[in-house]
Amino acid sequence: MGKGRLRLGFLVFFVFLGLLGVSAGAIHYGLRQVRQEVQSSQAFRAGWVLAQGNPTLLDAIGVPQLASFTLEHFRDFIAGRQPWVLNVYNKEIPEATGRGMRSRWVRRNEIEVPIVGPRGSGRLTIHAVKDRGDWNLQKLVADIRGHWEPIDLLEPAAAGKVTRKTDPDSAGGE
């Protein structure tokens, strides 16, 4: 009778491990699909080109790269914060013409991705609107760990100095 319980215990344990592995694989696959969808977006590409050439972001973290899926991203995912976010909204806007009213569609993408560089990491947020065939960036912000405020990459003043958080105990001391 003891051998039967032991075998049943092993069976339950291995079934649990199998289910855990399948679940982790499904989560990884889903996040990979979202990442590919984000990277193929024209709105993302427009924002990414500006972010990579921004002097303030280069000063803060070095040359930015898209972060790969890490254990930290998995913890964020479990806590309810998605590492890769792509929200797409379509809105119908009525407009008057010489012949009456007609509608046109406006598309809005809200994208949030993890970024990493040689000197730091953070998140890049891109909000863009496609109206009449052109994508217009409305928000391009890098929220860098260790900085007081997010960096607005669309502001001309963003080419200024980077403000870092400092530890009051280590400032100006031995």
Residue 76 lies in a domain: yes
Residue 38 lies in a domain: yes
Give the mean model confidence (pLDDT) for residues 107-115: 86
> Per-residue pLDDT for 161 more than 50?
no
If one counts the domains in the chain, the total is 1
167 versus 104: the higher-pLDDT residue is 104
Distance, CA of 32 to CA of 36 (rounded, Å) = 6
Give the pLDDT confidence of 7-41 residue by residue, as tens digits. 777 778 878 888 877 777 776 666 667 677 777 78
Q: Is the dihedral of CA 53, 55, 57, 62 positive or negative?
A: positive
In 3-state terms, the chain is what percent helix, strand and coil (to 5)?
Answer: 40, 35, 25
Residue 110 lies in a domain: yes
pLDDT of 166: 40
Residue 37 lies in a domain: yes
pLDDT band at 152 (very low <50, low <70, confident <90, very high): very high
Residue 166 lies in a domain: no
Backbone φ and ψ for 43, nearest 5 degrees, come out as -65, -40
pLDDT of 139: 92
Residue 31 lies in a domain: yes
Domain assignment of residue 11, given as a range: 2-159
Residue 169 lies in a domain: no
**Among residues 57, 51, 161, 157, which one has the least CA distance to residue 111?**
51
Note the pTM of the prediction, 2 decimals.
0.65
Distance, CA of 137 to CA of 172 (rounded, Å) = 41
Residue 172 lies in a domain: no
